[in-house]
Chains A and B, each alone.
Chain A
């Protein structure tokens, strides 16, 4: 039984910044360490922009988490699917519920801001169906909490370097996921990375 819902709101930054922050994988296990402190790449296919990852954290001395296929569809779309528990024997809702997400960032021209729309599709067994509202609430809360951490980062960087300044993400030495695609769509048009005194 499929339950679909969306979590959507405006993020007060240009799309180029929102996409860069998503592709800036170096911050995942540091800024978001509350949720997952280990990020591992299990496989990577540059041609399809698919990265199979494992995110995990410690609980009662055990390392637990999930594996997930991630896919970037330029310029502003991100897919997550094939989510499985790690380790496989771990009792987890992912054994019985299939989750697929599609995050789309689109430009709000009049404010040079970003509309963030996360579509979620849950494939639930009948006995989980009565709990769908609770699951939806938990997923939405997680999404909003992580976005709030990113938004704090975006706000601070905008105050220091300028709202549209994505030059650090474009810099030769800076690693971000799928950088060639990012450059194709969002660079190079930035200002020098000089903090405002």
Chain B
């Protein structure tokens, strides 16, 4: 019998994804990719005393956040378009292309309306730590 089945999740089993995150072995300042079961992959970034757990899919174009970079300004940069999301809130805080493409964007046709941009945010998942494991809730966190 494994420790997980000995202790189990901290509540109804169906409230959590089947596979908890083992806290040991998580690398700080880096993206840790974990499979929670049920076809759900997350990226885990240890921050301060806690974790940031996000779905592995970039909300902009679906990029693989498993290949994202944790930046010094506490953001996560998507590998496809470089969009940067706050680790704290999950929200998009910087699109570097606004600078790279500044001239083209300024002279773009009228069909480009950046003011209509949605408020992109990573899908953040709540978790509960039991011993050396974090059990991830199926409901989203408030972040």
Chain B CB within 8 A of A133 CB = no
- Which of B80, B108, B115 is the one whose CB lies under 8 Å from A31? B80
Interface residues of A in 137-154 (CB under 8 A from B): 153
Per the bound structure, the CA–CA distance linking A153 and B79 in Å amounts to 11
Pair A44/B57 contact, Cβ less than 8 Å? no
- Which of B57, B109, B110, B117 is the one whose CB lies under 8 Å from A173? B117
CB distance from B87 to the nearest CB of A (A): 19
- Which of B60, B100, B104, B113 is the one whose CB lies under 8 Å from A172? B113
Chain B CB within 8 A of A110 CB = no
Closest residue of chain B to A173 (Cβ to Cβ) is: B117
A169-181 interface code vs B (CB 8 A; 1 in, 0 out): 0011111010110
B86-126 interface code vs A (CB 8 A; 1 in, 0 out): 00000000010100110111011111111111100000000
Known: A168-B61, A173-B115. 10 other contacts (CB 8 A): A25-B97, A25-B101, A26-B82, A30-B80, A44-B107, A46-B109, A51-B104, A172-B116, A175-B97, A175-B104
CB distance from B121 to the nearest CB of A (A): 14
B32-65 interface code vs A (CB 8 A; 1 in, 0 out): 0000000000000000000000000100111110
